[in-house]
Structures are given as C-alpha cells and as structure tokens.
Structure 1
C-alpha cells in the first residue's frame, strides 16, 4: 500500500540541495514526457489543475486546486496531492502533499535559474511576498546559494514580520523593506511571489540584478510593471521556465514582450551557456516537469533523498 505523506514528511523527502540538482537532471533527461496540463475553471476565479508526467522509471499526476478567494482565511489557497507510480509495474509508490511539492519545486526552480543566470549571487536578496513561497525562496536561496541577508516586503505587515523572524531563527540576517522599489536598488537578487493581483515591483533593477517572478501564471495576472519587463528585454535578458510561458506569463504578455523569443531554462542548461551581461528576469509559470522531478526524488525514499 502506498504511503500517504503529510506536509512535513513530504518536505523531508525533498531537501533543497537534492531537489535543485534533481530538477537540473530532469532537464537533461530525454525520457521525460510531459503532456499539456488541464486547467479547468471551477468557482469564480478558481481552477483545478491536472498535471501528469513520466520518465523511464516514474509516473506521476498532480491534482491540485487553486482558490484565490481563500487568501486571508484559514483554508489554504492551494490544495491537492501528487500521486507517484512505478512505470514498470504500475504500482502506486507514494502520495505526496501537493501544496508542499508546489512550494518547494517552485522555489527550487528559481534557485536553479539563479545558479545558471544570476550575475551576482552574493545577495542581499529582496523577497516581495511573505507567504508560503516567500518562506520557501528564503530557505532555498540560503541553503543552495549561500545567501545570508534578506529584505522582506509584503502588503501584510504581520506576514513580513513572521518571515523576518523565521530567517533570524535560521541564523540569517533579515529586515523589513517597507518600500520594495527602494530596496531593489541594494539587492542583486529578488523574487516576487505574491497572489499577483497587481503590480508590486516597478523600479528598474541594478545592472547585476536577477529577478525571479513566480506569482503570475495566467495572462491576466501580473506582478511586474510593463516598463520593468521592457527594460529587461532591452537592456538585459529574459528567460522563462518553460515554453508554456508563451501563453501564461501575464507579466510579459501585458508588457508586449515576444515570449516565444525568450530562451527557456532547459535551453540554457542543455546548451551549457549561462553567460550574458546585464540584468536577468527569470519568469516562472510552473510545469508538471518540476513536479515530476520532486516525485522522482521523493520516490527514492528518505534515506536517498
């Protein structure tokens, strides 16, 4: 019988350094097959995602709901599971907590993007949005890239304070950033991970900046000002997580950016060419391949994760 793991047990199967490495390995694996995901509208503004994928050994399906109306309530915005199967036998291996997989693989992809693309990984790092993704990004950038100083900006003062406290409990330096745009000038690393209900970052970045934008994953959602996106296109480089961003990256689409002309993270990794000068915008919309990477790692068991 397959084990059903709770959030803590799922996180334990997905340690940050191993997860980042597994995502990179997946991008080099020719056996990976990821069909187009199903995005079915449910309640007003809410959707149900069905995201399958497999490689030569492992198959998985992520079934997850996204309900923006739950923001600010006791009910999570993201709920669901990731079921992992053995390809050879069809046996169900493990059932993972979906929101935990989503949080960890999204942040790990940002860290992989920074490892390949960021001109300056020394920090400090600005985190705009102090929810689950803000916490995940803080942890992975600290553990994998060695960032030790963070500035936290959030519309919720309580959430921002809680994330600062969490960082300090981990032995990191962290402080509140009342003005995200002002803080960006001192931060070569930044991530926007908000509900994407409106622009949260407008300032033009430093020449050595790396900005990961993960909150907006539909054409209607947005976190970055159009002028900021166009500046990145003109003066730096824009890289997307996958080709699906061509019809999902609201920040870029609303700025009139030709998303099809932007390289993907897989293109960069497979070419082995991290180079380039100027600021980098890494636009992440999500992909079942990232969940498959997490499923592959988790299926090996806690002793091998």
Structure 2
C-alpha cells in the first residue's frame, strides 16, 4: 500500500529547536510571560516508572498558544550514550486546535532552565560580572555556561564535576567560544573566588557546603523533587537567615528538596514573578548573598514555544 507523504507542522530536531531559542531573547520572553495574566499552568503529572525513571506531563497555555511537554527522566542513563531527559514539546494554536510545532523536549528543557537562571541573575545577582562556578558539567552545565556568556557577558568560568573528562570537555567548549575556563576539584573552595555559581548535578547529594560570599548569587537547578538535594541544609538555612532566597514558582513549596530538607518554610519565599512585578528594591546591588532555587515549570516551556513560533 502506498501512503501519502506526511505533511503538516514542522517537527524540529535539537539543532533546529536550539536555533529558535537564543538565550537573551528567551530570557526576555520568560519575563514577558511572568507579566502575562492570561497564562495558565495546571499541575504537572509526575508518574514513577518501573526501574527508577519518571514520566512528566506538563501542560500550559495562554490566550493564543497551548503546549504539553512530555518527557522522561531516567537517572540510570547518566554516564551512558542515552540522555537522562528525553521527549517532546507539542505546540498547539488555541483558536484552531491545530498543532503548530513539535520541539525537541531536552533542548527546550536545557535552554529554558538556563534562561530562567539568567533572568534571575540579571535581576538578583549583587555582582553579575563573574567568574561563574558551574558544578556539574553535563547538559545543564553547558547550557548555563552559554546562557551566562550570551546574556550577562560573563567571560570566565570555573568548572567542577565528578567526571574529570566531562569537566575538561566543558572547559574546552568554553575556550572554543573565546571564553576563559578552568577546572577545580573543590567547588566549595572555588566559592570564595566566584560571585556567581550554578549547581546542575544529578542531585544525589549535597555538593556545596561552604559559606557563600557576601555578594554571591547561587542558582540551584538540579534538585526538582522533595527527595533530591544539591545544597547542604546548613547552607540553605544560612541563606535564609543572612541573605535572600527566591524560588522560581510557588510549586517549589512541595518540590524544592534542598529547602524542604533544610526544614525551611518554602511557601514564605518570594517567587521570581513576585520579584519582577515589584519595583527594584534592596536586592539590586545589595551585598547580601542570594539563593535562587529553580524546580521547573511548564510555563517556562510555554515561553520557549511562544518565542519559537515567532
């Protein structure tokens, strides 16, 4: 039997998806989305899979666009040729119901997560010049390096990873972009020289314990369930007592493992939306350390879809 050639909206691979989502523009679209009162983000479905993986079903919509991100997270794939995050973002037109795009899910996840950290750093970092300490040299480590270079103008990076080969590969990538990059075996010691830090590890244990600089901005993105953790509990409590903690969304109240395991009242912390919707205050230029805790949200994927459609 002869079947007709498939037609319809484009199905984009990782490279084409990335090309539609440059970091500075994506950060601006995330900002616009947080000010858009038509945005709706239902609770995501998180389904445990046999063998330790997780299926995420994440819908979101505004007055024109509806999306659903369908991804799997498989920690056992770490260190193998298979990605730990796999899936797609399906983009629909609200008025007609037609599918407009199919975006590569891991690419959207990596780029929008890094762009959220970039947006937070632009607004909250007391000293945004760097160097930037990156703990974890995987997909998110690379995305954050590229995002902070493109969106903040950071030119110097310090990389820490359990895998020396991965750290070297990321440092080489930075140098290929004309940036300076070094490797450290001790991220806690490196904190003293880095006003910017990002933790993007598999979140199987605390990787930062040392007291932060007075002008520190730390974005913690690896832990997105109550049982995951990247930051020492005492460090989280130090940020709460002597600095500022901002979470990406109110959903962090039941997802931010770092903060929950530190016994903190996560619901009491300001969200990124709260920060962006109020006039600049003491956080701008303040010499107090800032922790930005990011757990993920389908609204970030909606912002990526909105930018891709344009």
TM-score, normalised relative to structure 1: 0.97
Distance 2:50 2:220 in 1: 26
Distance 1:96 1:275 in 2: 39
What is the SS of the residue equivalent to 1:268? helix
- For structure 1, which segment, 37-46 or 79-88, has the greater mean C-alpha deviation from structure 2 after superposition? 37-46
Q: Does 1:145 align with 2:155?
A: no
- In structure 2, the residue matched to 1:44 is 51
- In structure 1, the residue matched to 2:114 is 107
TM-score, normalised relative to structure 2: 0.96
Q: Does 1:182 align with 2:182?
A: no
Aligned residues of 1:268 and 1:274 also touching (Cα < 8 A) = no
Per the TM alignment, residue 274 of structure 1 is displaced from its structure 2 partner at its CA by 5.2
Per the TM alignment, residue 178 of structure 1 is displaced from its structure 2 partner at its CA by 1.2
What is the SS of the residue equivalent to 1:4? coil
Distance 1:231 1:273 in 2: 24
What is the SS of the residue equivalent to 2:57? strand
Q: Does 1:128 align with 2:138?
A: no
Distance 2:292 2:139 in 1: 19
| Deviations 1:19-58 (CA, angstroms, capped at 9, x unpaired) | 0000000000011011000001112321100001111111
Q: Does 1:294 align with 2:304?
A: yes
Structure 1 residue runs of 4+, over 4 Å off? none
Q: How does 1:237-256 map to 2 (within 5 A)?
A: 237-256=244-263
Distance 1:86 1:208 in 2: 44
Per the TM alignment, residue 91 of structure 1 is displaced from its structure 2 partner at its CA by 0.9
Distance 1:147 1:60 in 2: 33
Aligned residues of 1:217 and 1:248 also touching (Cα < 8 A) = yes
What is the SS of the residue equivalent to 1:119? coil
- In structure 2, the residue matched to 1:61 is 68
Distance 1:130 1:119 in 2: 25
Per the TM alignment, residue 272 of structure 1 is displaced from its structure 2 partner at its CA by 3.1
Query: Cα 1:274–1:94, aligned 2, differ >3 Å: closer, same or farther?
Result: farther
Q: How does 1:1-305 map to 2 (within 5 A)?
A: 1-273=8-280, 275-276=282-283, 277=286, 278-300=288-310
Distance 2:262 2:241 in 1: 12
Distance 1:69 1:13 in 2: 30
Unaligned runs of 5+ in 1: 301-305
Per the TM alignment, residue 104 of structure 1 is displaced from its structure 2 partner at its CA by 0.2
* Number of residue equivalences: 300
Aligned residues of 1:85 and 1:91 also touching (Cα < 8 A) = yes
Distance 2:75 2:130 in 1: 31
Unaligned runs of 5+ in 2: 1-7
What is the SS of the residue equivalent to 2:270? coil
